[in-house]
Structure 1
Amino acid sequence: MKTAPLIAVLVLGAAAATAEAEVSSTITLASDYDFRGITQTARDPALQASLDWSSESGFYLGAWASNVDFGDGTESEFELDLIGGLAGNFTDDFGYDIGLVRYNYFDDGDDIDATEYYLGLSYKAVSVKYWYATDFANSGDGANYLEANVELPLPNDFTLGLHVGRSSGAFWGDDQYTDYSIGIGKTVGNFDLGLKWVDGSDFKPGVDIGDANSTENKVVFTIATTLPWGN
């Protein structure tokens, strides 16, 4: 059993309890755990939860967990991500976000844990973020991910979300690919509802279109709530 991530979660909890900052937790039920166009649950539902701490200075820490099923012989059933960074604004419209995330997978004989670093910039409704891992999935190879997102208001308090991302680098080699999605969201009471269509260029060598791990088009529904309510 990997104890370091669990210790880190306890430290995060202690910090959340003692620091004068904002603390929240988000619980999400998703019809599929989609990660950059690829299912992480073999297209089955996912239950996800986060604990987030942020200070007025812009520093933040977080822990995020989900069930996983890669459907390729790996034994991982649980993912725990540890996140830390700094976010803020240069002006009212121009913001930044810099940090790292540590992906931890449990019950897996093959160690596929990885660390990614990221740098994001945003201007009004548009955001761009670059992710880089020096040792992606414990492969010894680096990987890049560049994404762009747009979020626009729609009538009746709906939102429109547009996304495109590109995976490249030594880890992907000739299998680098693009993913994209379009979705709508709406807040109803204390719950955030989301529906998006996801697609992308299929990258897996030897994997037929229709396999759970391909980037074939799919629809993902999510319902989430953030605690404490009323904040």
Structure 2
Amino acid sequence: MNARAICSLASLLLAPLTCQALTMNDDFSLELTLDAVSDYRSRGVSQTLGDPALQAGATLIHGSGLYLGSWTSNVDYGFDYKTRQEVDYYAGWYWQATDAISLDLGYLKYSYPKEGQFNMSEVYAILDLYGFKLGAYYSSDSPNAFGKDQDTLYSYVGYNVALPGEVGLELRAGRNDVKDPAFWSASGDNRETYYEWQAKLTREFVGITWGLSYIDTDLSKSECVSWYGYDDLCSATVVVSANKTF
């Protein structure tokens, strides 16, 4: 099992990491991560009202490619919502054909203490081919604005490459489809899909991986308000991050 694959999963679901695993015995290794970000963005949208977040994760990795873990971050959805934490649980299987070709399959559960109506789950598949990534995350129990479950599909294409000076470049373009009209414009038009994208530079220094990301979506302010309740959570931003793995 290549421990870096688990970090690839975490970077696609959560936040990019530089990874190394702690060997427990011949079969198991454990990865612990700590992250600080200036804004916790998920699929282009802020989960902290634009404020910073501290995040931590732990992944148990088996030599067969099986893994399971948990990850948490502070969140803030404003209004009268009481939850201030997101706790995720995940399990999956990573298969590596060569150093340049791999497949990652798994299940992810999102939970929000004190606001269980936000809880949801996804199954995912991530194909990595020579630095190009294709991913898809499907949910059948994603909550909508009316408190009912609905199908959602998030898919993306990405590319990771090493630049001169030990700098990494990570590119991603994603499409989030909530299957029902959800994003309403000021003119009264609506749509069920939006696009998001990210460009990120990373570099390791004094044992920490530092990141600088540009993140944006094609949601207008009125469309953002109609779904998330605020007009400034979906617009372009720069996110600074610091990541450490033990």
TM-score (ref. length: structure 2): 0.79
The counterpart of 2:30, out of the listed 23, 42, 46, is 23
Alpha-carbon separation, structure 2, partners of 1:52 and 1:196: 25
Residue identity over aligned pairs, in percent, reads 26
The question of whether the paired residues in 2 share the 8 Å contact of 1:210 and 1:216 is answered with no
Contact 2:196 2:216 in 1 (8 A): yes
Query: Which residue identity lines up with residue 189 of structure 1 in the other structure?
Result: V
CA distance in 1, matches of 2:163, 2:181: 37
**Counterpart of 1:56?**
63
Name the structure 1 match of 2:129: 123
Match of 2:193 in 1: 176
Aligned amino acid, residue 149 of structure 1? G
CA contact (8 A) 1:25 1:51 kept: yes
Question: Does structure 2 conserve the Cα–Cα contact (< 8 Å) formed by 1:32 and 1:220?
Answer: yes
Partner of 1:190: 207
**Aligned amino acid, residue 68 of structure 2:** L
CA RMSD, 1 decimal: 2.2
Which stretch has the larger CA shift, 69-78 or 52-61? 69-78
Q: Which residue of 1 aligns with 2:8?
A: none
Choose which of 59, 73, 78 in structure 2 pairs with 1:71. 78
Q: Residues of 1 paired with 2:47 and 2:228: CA distance?
A: 17
Matches within 5 A, 1:33-112: 33-108=40-115, 111-112=117-118
5+ residue gaps, structure 1, are 1-15
Residues 12-49 of structure 1, C-alpha deviations (whole Å, 9 max, x = no match)? xxxx9788411010000100101000000000000000
Paired residue total: 210
- Write out per-residue CA displacement over residues 95-128 of structure 1, whole angstroms, 9 at most, x where no aligned residue: 10000110000122x5210000001111011111
SS of alignment partner, residue 134 of structure 1: strand
The structural deviation recorded for 1:140 is 1.4
Partner of 2:139: 133
Q: Which runs of 5+ in 2 are unaligned?
A: 1-22, 183-190
Q: Which residue of 1 aligns with 2:9?
A: none
